[in-house]
Structure 1
Amino acid sequence: MTPTLTPRSYLIQGVISGWCFAVGYGIGVLCRLLWGYMELPLPVERSSRVIKRISAAVFLILAATVLWLSAGWQNSIRKLMEMEPLPSAQPLEVCAITLIIFLLLIALARGLSLVSHAIAMRMRHLLPWRVARVIGYALTIVSVWAIANGVLIRYMLHVADASFASFDQYFEADKTPPISPLRSGSAASSVGWEDLGRTGRAFVASGPTASEISALGDGPALEPIRVYIGLAAAETPERRAHLALDELKRTDAFRRSALVVVTPTGTGWIDPAAIDTLEYLCDGDVASVAVQYSYLSSPLSLLMDPEYGKETSQALLRTVYEYWTTLPPETRPKLYLHGLSLGALNSENSFELYEMLGDPIQGALWSGPPFQSGFWRSVMERRNPGSPAWLPQFRSGSFVRFMNQRGDMSQTNQPWGPARIVYLQYASDPVTFFDYRDFYRRPDWLDAPRGPDVSPEFRWYPVVTGLQLAFDMAVATSTPVGYGHVFAPEHYIDAWLVVLERKAWTIGKIARLKQYFVRQRQQ
């Protein structure tokens, strides 16, 4: 019931509490089994009844206390995220859901225990009973894991993949092929509208026009270029990457001042807040290119084929980079990378630094990197002593820097090197800050000072906090914009200004652009 990184509804709270209740009960049962296995003496029956009654009384008092405190705990997060406070944590609903989840998990565990007992009974004539019991439990665990991981989960993922693939082909009534020849899927494009997929069609059919950019920027603007290649466009990542290059050449994208290679999320979605703000800041003089690598949501993509996104992102960047290096440096566009969430992870994996040392790209903006991101994690773990884990400083800051809602950035007075890498991350984002070690070790980002959007009431507890954060990841996008895993356009503006080194935008123009996106969000 204690607060973690994201605010929780009574439904999510009940599910988490049910899991924690079952895990705690399971630990107790395991200890009892080990005690009996070692043939240690048990309390006499009368003492056992007294212990149980005292334990039950303590449990009820603790449960009532935390239910009474839970609304205040949740409001400590909601206040930081500018949400309306909860008048009540709906304790009756939470208790009902908790008991349902608890009983279901206990029933499942006892069913498996019966299976292990049956296996042990069949072996008791061949082996000592204590050995047979151990083998029975071991065989049950191994068998269930093998069936679940090798058959059930894969079958469910294939069903999900087929379902998402069908949904990806769904045509929205309000989306029509773009008129501008500078967009994939237009009449001038070699990629058909139907081959872009649902997320690709949404990407090329949206975004600001040259006139809208000009009106807000007080100057002439170009029509932004958007290139997108869906999974249905070609069979292999390499062929889709070459289709993307052909589209870039067709639209004269290499004559723009900036070219951004975007790695989408698992479903192929690209955050409009990131690309719309980019196009305004560049006065339309920018091209964006992306290739879809999956139909599944990001968590399912990681389970189904975690290397598939890496393969596609590498193929796209390699194809674009090899052509880009053949162009005169003084006339070619500056080359950048971008990715959100799983897109950030795969964008990280799309290049090798040593391959680009002779002719490096100009930078990257990665937002909400998942905790599995290798490069991000290596930087975090080697951060400068004394810098917080939620906004670290890395060496001189000439290569990698971090930003959050407040635009805070380490070593702002230090000069940049040839490439600028910026991570945009929120301290309240469980997708970024979850770690398997949270089950047994207190995370560094709970040290003082804490992030501006992390509750002061957040306390770490072994096992429990790990479960809480795992469930937080499932609802990370349910937070208000600017918290959790939902990134605000105004924060992208600050980050892009640093990566692009746009000095032409005055403080007044930047404030006006931010206000424009805030009004858009409130409408």
Structure 2
Amino acid sequence: MPGLLVGSVFFTLSLTPSLLPRTEIVQGILSGCCFAVGYGIGNLGHWLWGFLGLKVPPGRVTRAMGMLVALIGLALVLIALGYANSWQNSVRAVMQMPPVDQFQPLVIAAVALPIAAALMVLGKLLVMLIRLVWSWLSPHLPRRAALVLAVLLVAIVVGALVNNLFWRSALRAADNFYERLDAFVSTDDAPPTGWDETGSAQSLIDWDTIGKDSRIYVQSGPSAAEIAALTGRPAIEPLRTYVGLRSAPSVQARAQLALDELLRIGAFERSVLVLIMPVGTGWVDRAGIDTLEYLHGGDVASVAVQYSYLTSALSLLVEPEYGAETAQALFDLVYAYWTNLPRDSRPRLYLYGLSLGALASQNSTTVYDVLGDPFDGALWAGPPFSSSIWGRVTESRQPGTPFWLPRFGNSSSIRFMNQSGAQGWDDIPWGPMRIVFLQYASDPIVFFSFAADWQKPAWFDAPRGPDVSPALNWYPMVTFLQLALDTALSQTAPVGYGHVYSPRDYIDAWYEVTQPPGWTRPQLEALKSAIDPLDYAPFPP
């Protein structure tokens, strides 16, 4: 009875809104998992009640209560399914998405049922295993001591098996898969021919050592002619450099190769030089770099160095230090060369990263190391919840400013931006270093929290972000599961929401960070309108 009741409550709460819209399949998986978790918690409480020797109602009363609980649970599930569409539509409305199909609740129930059943069977098997070990230990130990030891032994053995056998094997398989995927490129993908392009005959970087995502970054940027046609201004060819994991045998060697390639192509003669940390797989967000090149008429040199084959989510779990090591090596070498150049002729130096790349970029240096000659600024988009600088600054925000768009100190060095652009910044002067965190209130990569399991996150407080459903509420454990799923599916949001950053917002952010000359506000708005955001959607509609 308690298991069914708590499971029904968890199922009901799982259908309420979270940060991102969910398809019926995804919602069914989540709801099935939530029901199973609630069922387990309820049954654990029921068992603990009996284990402690507390009184239970007589059999006839228990059977009547069982029927009542079953009816209440069924009613909760049916009522929740009836509200499911309106709850999901409240998320889709703030993201300007069409409403869900009216038959979605039926699909949710059909998917949730087998998921819940499978997890409940798995839970039963674990309980049976604990009882078996308990029965073996009971002749040799006091009853309760034998139970505690049985639970510990099963937890240790099962945890070791999951971690060492399944989890590590899965990670090795994922790493091998993404390494092969990184190396897979169609046979007709010929090396570039331009002398200043990565992988060309003159390049220090072998074309075969960078993968598919890397080649997209190198080859997909706008040409000088395209920049001039879009902006109506003179333009030159942007310089893009990429060093892959297979391009050199060590972190230091890859950083040195990046610097050597920058020197070869004359990157330090450009007006703007950007050090990019890609996401886990080596992917660079095109919107983040294309927009910068548009603003500066192509007078930009950028360099990215790959540090992992895994996706950002997996890298964040198992190897976040790899990105930091690469970021530090690249920054140290480039910064050391840059500081020895004449200040009046060297390029302005900026850092850029999205997601895990933003985390790595933040860890590339400390303010104490650059006080004597600071770099010019940084744009960090979608900084992960584990980002130390982002976390300290957000926690130290000005009183009265929201968690999802804080103000820090006197705003002369660090500012936060979302879809609203630079509103309210006109009268605030910048200092010598300009750092902008671009983040959406609906981005679960930014606002996920392990503490959400038992503590209401601060971004739930009013006022809410403009892209967060007003129907969203916090529920212990259930909200944590919702946010965990949102994090895994963060790039399924439409452009301009979740973890998919819009070129419009990049333009505002880069304008504030780099202050490109000659742009007026109407011209910036015209540039935003000329760029189709769907060209940058990870999953085009």
Q: TM-score, normalised by structure 1?
A: 0.97
Structure 1 residue 416 displacement after superposition: 1.2
Partner of residue 163, structure 1: 177
Structure 1 residue 520 displacement after superposition: 6.5
**Residue type of the alignment partner of 1:149:** N
Query: Please, which of 54, 58, 67 is the counterpart of residue 44 of structure 1?
Result: 58
Partner of residue 372, structure 2: 358
Question: Are the equivalent residues in 2 in contact too, given 1:256–1:285 (CA < 8 A)?
Answer: yes
Partner of residue 484, structure 1: 498
Query: Please, which of 475, 478, 490 is the counterpart of residue 461 of structure 1?
Result: 475
Q: Cα RMSD over matched residues?
A: 1.5
Question: Once the two structures are aligned, what percentage of the paired residues are identical?
Answer: 49
Q: In terms of mean alpha carbon deviation, does 344-353 or 144-153 score higher?
A: 144-153
Question: Are the equivalent residues in 1 in contact too, given 2:422–2:508 (CA < 8 A)?
Answer: no
Partner of residue 109, structure 2: 95
Structure 1 residue 279 displacement after superposition: 0.6
Query: Please, which of 258, 270, 273 is the counterpart of residue 284 of structure 2?
Result: 270
**Residue type of the alignment partner of 2:338:** W
Three-state SS of the structure 2 residue aligned to 1:262 is strand
1:212 is the counterpart of 2:226: yes
Partner of residue 282, structure 1: 296
Structure 1 residue 60 displacement after superposition: 1.1
Question: Are the equivalent residues in 2 in contact too, given 1:259–1:333 (CA < 8 A)?
Answer: yes
Structure 1 residue 410 displacement after superposition: 5.8
Question: Are the equivalent residues in 1 in contact too, given 2:502–2:533 (CA < 8 A)?
Answer: no
Structure 1 residue 44 displacement after superposition: 1.2
1:112 is the counterpart of 2:115: no
Question: Are the equivalent residues in 2 in contact too, given 1:401–1:409 (CA < 8 A)?
Answer: no
Partner of residue 362, structure 2: 348
Query: Please, which of 11, 16, 20 is the counterpart of residue 2 of structure 1?
Result: 16
Question: Are the equivalent residues in 2 in contact too, given 1:160–1:296 (CA < 8 A)?
Answer: yes
Mapped to 1, the partners of 2:422 and 2:25 lie a distance apart of 35
Query: Please, which of 205, 217, 230 is the counterpart of residue 244 of structure 2?
Result: 230
* Alignment gaps of 5+ in structure 2: 1-14
Deviation string for 1:460-499 (max 9, x for gaps)?
1111111111111121111110001101111100000000
* Alignment gaps of 5+ in structure 1: none
Assess, with a 3 A threshold, how the Cα gap between structure 1 residues 200 and 521 changes in structure 2: closer, same or farther: closer
Three-state SS of the structure 1 residue aligned to 2:180 is helix
Query: Please, which of 401, 418, 435 is the counterpart of residue 449 of structure 2?
Result: 435
Aligned residues: 523
1:401 is the counterpart of 2:401: no
Deviation string for 1:286-312 (max 9, x for gaps)?
100010001110111123322111111
Deviation string for 1:395-453 (max 9, x for gaps)?
11011101111214565421111111101111111111110111111111121111111
Q: In terms of mean alpha carbon deviation, does 413-422 or 169-178 score higher?
A: 169-178
Mapped to 2, the partners of 1:328 and 1:218 lie a distance apart of 32
Mapped to 2, the partners of 1:174 and 1:467 lie a distance apart of 44
Partner of residue 139, structure 1: 153
Mapped to 2, the partners of 1:381 and 1:240 lie a distance apart of 36
Three-state SS of the structure 1 residue aligned to 2:415 is strand
Query: Please, which of 527, 532, 537 is the counterpart of residue 513 of structure 1?
Result: 527
Mapped to 2, the partners of 1:384 and 1:240 lie a distance apart of 41
Three-state SS of the structure 2 residue aligned to 1:405 is coil
Deviation string for 1:306-361 (max 9, x for gaps)?
21111111111111111111111111111000000010011111111111111111
Assess, with a 3 A threshold, how the Cα gap between structure 1 residues 411 and 394 changes in structure 2: closer, same or farther: farther
**Residue type of the alignment partner of 1:132:** A
Assess, with a 3 A threshold, how the Cα gap between structure 1 residues 136 and 75 changes in structure 2: closer, same or farther: same
Assess, with a 3 A threshold, how the Cα gap between structure 1 residues 175 and 392 changes in structure 2: closer, same or farther: farther
Q: TM-score, normalised by structure 2?
A: 0.94
Mapped to 1, the partners of 2:386 and 2:534 lie a distance apart of 33
Query: 1:245-324, aligned counterparts within 5 Å?
Result: 245-324=259-338
Q: In terms of mean alpha carbon deviation, does 397-406 or 513-522 score higher?
A: 513-522
Assess, with a 3 A threshold, how the Cα gap between structure 1 residues 409 and 421 changes in structure 2: closer, same or farther: farther
Partner of residue 368, structure 1: 382
Partner of residue 137, structure 2: 123
1:189 is the counterpart of 2:203: yes
Question: Are the equivalent residues in 1 in contact too, given 2:495–2:533 (CA < 8 A)?
Answer: no
Mapped to 2, the partners of 1:519 and 1:441 lie a distance apart of 36
**Residue type of the alignment partner of 1:380:** T
Structure 1 residue 121 displacement after superposition: 1.3
Q: In terms of mean alpha carbon deviation, does 318-327 or 489-498 score higher?
A: 318-327
Mapped to 2, the partners of 1:94 and 1:324 lie a distance apart of 57
**Residue type of the alignment partner of 1:139:** L
**Residue type of the alignment partner of 1:336:** Y
1:418 is the counterpart of 2:432: yes
Q: In terms of mean alpha carbon deviation, does 313-322 or 179-188 score higher?
A: 179-188
Query: Please, which of 180, 186, 196 is the counterpart of residue 172 of structure 1?
Result: 186
Assess, with a 3 A threshold, how the Cα gap between structure 1 residues 519 and 262 changes in structure 2: closer, same or farther: closer
Three-state SS of the structure 1 residue aligned to 2:280 is coil
Partner of residue 6, structure 2: none
**Residue type of the alignment partner of 2:457:** P
